[in-house]
Structure 1
Amino acid sequence: MVAEGDEAGLLSRRQSLWLTGAGLSLIAVCYGLARFAYGLFVPVFRAEFALDAGTAGAIASGSYVSYCLAIIASTILTPRFGGRAVAVAAGMTATAGVLIVAAAPTAGVLAVGVLIAGSSTGVASPPLAHAVAHTVPAPMRNRTQTVINAGTGIGVAVAGPIALLTHEHWRVAWVLFAIICALATLWAAFVVPSGPVNRSGATTADALIPRPLLPTGSGRLLTAAALMGAASSAMWTFGRDLLVSTGGMSESASSIAWVFLGAFGVLGAAAGDLSRCFGIRASWVTTMLVMGLATGLLAAYPGIVAVAWLASAAFGAAYIALTGLLLIGGTEVYTQAPAAGVGLAFLVIALGQAAGAPVMGALSASAGPFIAFIAAAAVAAIGAFIRPVVRRP
């Protein structure tokens, strides 16, 4: 097991790398498998459980709502029980939710499984941010945060080939997801440090309500997060369904598009370097515009394989980079409460997605998927100019 660190409470470089690997793996299974794999399987779920676009969007929205509740609970519990305990709870939640999806006999049970699995992402982010902020040396901290955050891309990239290989046997795919979730949970149990723990329950720097609640820069940070979440909801929920139902793309080609989305999402690990070289504001504008362009491109040419793959790759890289920029912003705006800062930023992303998913589903059902995706692209374009402002005290 990784020790808590040196005399100053910081991990060595080797220990920090182990933490990075374990954290990246946990984020990969919670986000890439337990949460976002739902969008990959929307076509087969719609056929299996006779779901229309509105119902599929509502289930996705429920997943985001459960995420919101979970991230609040995780932000409260992390300083009290430590990063390791809450991180392990996240992995166990992901494993349980994925298993429920695998065994779901009805649409109702499917929705319950998706809600539980989706909540694991809310549990995972604050303890990992807490552990990194308090135990990783400062020169490595931002890069460690953004590399761990890029685990989402790896998880999405892993889900694609599994879906392709299992094809119509989707339950087998979700059982495999559960096994991978369990393995990542074990790794986290042995590697993630607890960080500072306050078991007395007294107010700490990582309390649920940081002081001040809205420090300088928080308004723009949270508004940017909300618009980014809403703009991304169309792709995450209906991206593959658009390729199959509207574009007439084959199962293999649409699954490969999902692999590209995840694989290029790993490039989002460069968010820390982007923010250092160009600043968060300039990086945000460029990356949001890329995400909006990718969303619009997929809507315009859903039947052209090369365009779909390119758009998926660009979306994946942009999305992960944007979450990385918000993660850095959350830890820097809320310097005395990094877990609370990350929790608030990611909570607002999910609120944007929870609002966006049913709206995109309703738009798709009434006006067609093209209009829904163009609306999402427009939200991204607007959000590009709501730039997070990070002010260090």
Structure 2
Amino acid sequence: MQSSEIRAAAGGAAVVGVAFGMARYAYGLTLPDMQAEFDLSEQLTGLVASATFVGYLVGLLGVPVLVARRGPRAPTSVGGACGVLGCSLVAVSPTPAVLAVGAVLAGSAAGWVWAPYSDVLRAVAAPRHRPTLLAVVTTGTGVGLVGLGALGLLAPFVSWRLTWAGIAVAAAVAAVLNLRLVPALPPPERQEGGGRLPWARLLVPLLYTVAYFVAVTVYFTYASDAAEEAGMADWAPALVFALIGLGGLVAFWTGRMTALLGPTGVGAASLGVVGLALVGLGLAPGGALVLASALVLGAGFMVGSSVLAIWTAEASPERPGTAFTAALVVGAVTSIVTPTVTGALVPGAGLGTVLVLAGGLAAACAALLAATGPARSVLARG
């Protein structure tokens, strides 16, 4: 593996790690302290949370446009700048309005930074190395979650503003590394026929995306509530985030897994693991099982997202970034719809029942997926 390939993946892992692993989840982790300082209503905090998803979607939809005009590194630079500016605004916010603007900007960073690395690595890496390098970029999220969890564990001793300031510094460092390590590449050449995506080959990955994001969104939405029901301390959610990140580090080997099982097999396995974590969370009688489920979830969560990057690149080798963006847009819409559906079910069925049912649904989808698809990865063979 050449140094240019490793450098590009390292720059991507840094930016993705901060944007996805830290900036995207910091709002929920620090929300109680922000509510106390600004006396924020539940309605306003919910509106801001929804707005961060809108910012994320805007970033996703802007990626193909910017890649076509400025090349694939350009949106990663925009995302890095959004992370630095957004987290800095939250850290110094004098009013709820400034806080909201900063949170939305920080949330949008994740939309800009992930998918373009599929195009970057297509340009700089040999086909046989791309699955491993795509997994390295994606697994940066796990490292970011560990960092966010560590900041969260310090929260009782420091201001929530310092947490956001720390993320802003990390975002600035990652943005500089990205500029130094990732080459500035020209826009991709236009394909004949407008470069349309091969939707037939993307159908199974997109269906997987829906099942995966439903399961993961349910877990992240209710993990804190489950920890509270299990009688855990106020700092437990931060530890849960850190353990998810630690468990997710196994995704560094997603490329090797894909070479053995193919993306369909790895996707099925990751869905099954996420389903197991959901069942464990739903049945948890105490804190130990909640923490164990977080480690398990981390493995399924990060391997599942890493294989999606590999899978879409294999399904659309000429336009991997655009194909990955399409999958992430489907995932973002799924993430917006899922809490509304589960929120309507929890009051009647109970949180534990909904978590177990969601885990069973993920396991059923995993079984269906395992019954399809080839046993080897085309990219890994290449």
Pairing of 1:158-237 with structure 2 (within 5 A): 158-167=147-156, 169-197=159-187, 204-205=190-191, 210-211=195-196, 213-237=197-221
Pairing 1:38–2:27 present:
yes
- Sort the Cα spacing of 1:57 and 1:214 in 2 relative to 1 into closer, same or farther, 3 A: farther
Instruction: Give, in angstroms, the shift of residue 253 of structure 1.
Output: 3.8
Q: Residue 223 of structure 2 aligns with which residue? A: 239
- Sort the Cα spacing of 1:171 and 1:80 in 2 relative to 1 into closer, same or farther, 3 A: same
Pairing 1:148–2:157 present:
no
Query: Unpaired segments of 5 or more residues in structure 1?
Result: 1-11
Pairing 1:328–2:314 present:
no
Instruction: Give, in angstroms, the shift of residue 104 of structure 1.
Output: 4.4
Paired residue for 2:260, among 273, 277, 297? 277
- Sort the Cα spacing of 1:380 and 1:352 in 2 relative to 1 into closer, same or farther, 3 A: same
Letter in 2 for 1:204: R
Q: Say whether the 8 Å CA contact 2:59–2:109 is kept in structure 1.
A: yes
CA distance, structure 2, for counterparts of residue 60 and residue 235 of structure 1: 17
Pairing 1:255–2:244 present:
no
Deviations 1:282-339 (A, max 9, x none): 22222201101102211221x6232122100111111111111111111111111111
CA distance, structure 2, for counterparts of residue 127 and residue 45 of structure 1: 33
Query: Unpaired segments of 5 or more residues in structure 2?
Result: none
Pick which of 170-179 and 100-109 moved more: 100-109
Pairing 1:373–2:355 present:
yes
Letter in 1 for 2:159: H
Q: Say whether the 8 Å CA contact 2:273–2:299 is kept in structure 1.
A: no
CA distance, structure 1, for counterparts of residue 373 and residue 104 of structure 2: 33
Paired residue for 2:121, among 132, 138, 141? 132
Instruction: Give, in angstroms, the shift of residue 66 of structure 1.
Output: 2.5
Paired residue for 1:286, among 269, 283, 297? 269
Paired residue for 2:73, among 71, 75, 84? 84
CA distance, structure 2, for counterparts of residue 124 and residue 331 of structure 1: 16
Q: Say whether the 8 Å CA contact 1:134–1:196 is kept in structure 2.
A: no
Letter in 1 for 2:10: G
Paired residue for 2:300, among 318, 339, 344? 318
Instruction: Give, in angstroms, the shift of residue 261 of structure 1.
Output: 0.6
CA distance, structure 2, for counterparts of residue 20 and residue 206 of structure 1: 29
CA distance, structure 2, for counterparts of residue 206 and residue 252 of structure 1: 55
Query: What secondary structure does 1:250 align onto?
Result: coil
- Sort the Cα spacing of 1:274 and 1:45 in 2 relative to 1 into closer, same or farther, 3 A: farther
CA distance, structure 2, for counterparts of residue 345 and residue 385 of structure 1: 21
Using the size of structure 2 for normalisation, the TM-score is 0.87
- Sort the Cα spacing of 1:145 and 1:166 in 2 relative to 1 into closer, same or farther, 3 A: same
Letter in 2 for 1:228: Y
Flag the structure with higher helix content: 2
Pick which of 360-369 and 13-22 moved more: 360-369
Paired residue for 1:97, among 66, 71, 86? 86
Instruction: Give, in angstroms, the shift of residue 61 of structure 1.
Output: 4.2
Q: Say whether the 8 Å CA contact 1:265–1:313 is kept in structure 2.
A: yes
Identity of aligned residues (%): 25
Q: Say whether the 8 Å CA contact 1:58–1:358 is kept in structure 2.
A: no
CA distance, structure 2, for counterparts of residue 206 and residue 68 of structure 1: 28
Q: Residue 68 of structure 1 aligns with which residue? A: 57
Q: Say whether the 8 Å CA contact 1:82–1:195 is kept in structure 2.
A: yes
Q: Say whether the 8 Å CA contact 1:271–1:324 is kept in structure 2.
A: yes
Pick which of 103-112 and 35-44 moved more: 103-112
Q: Say whether the 8 Å CA contact 2:150–2:238 is kept in structure 1.
A: yes
CA distance, structure 2, for counterparts of residue 103 and residue 363 of structure 1: 38
Q: Say whether the 8 Å CA contact 1:57–1:358 is kept in structure 2.
A: no
CA distance, structure 1, for counterparts of residue 292 and residue 327 of structure 2: 28
Instruction: Give, in angstroms, the shift of residue 169 of structure 1.
Output: 2.0
Letter in 1 for 2:190: T
Q: Say whether the 8 Å CA contact 1:261–1:313 is kept in structure 2.
A: yes
Using the size of structure 1 for normalisation, the TM-score is 0.85
Q: Say whether the 8 Å CA contact 1:126–1:343 is kept in structure 2.
A: yes
Letter in 2 for 1:334: S
Letter in 1 for 2:168: A
Q: Residue 20 of structure 1 aligns with which residue? A: 9
Q: Say whether the 8 Å CA contact 1:86–1:123 is kept in structure 2.
A: yes
Deviations 1:79-108 (A, max 9, x none): 321222221111111122222333445666
CA RMSD of aligned residues (A): 2.8
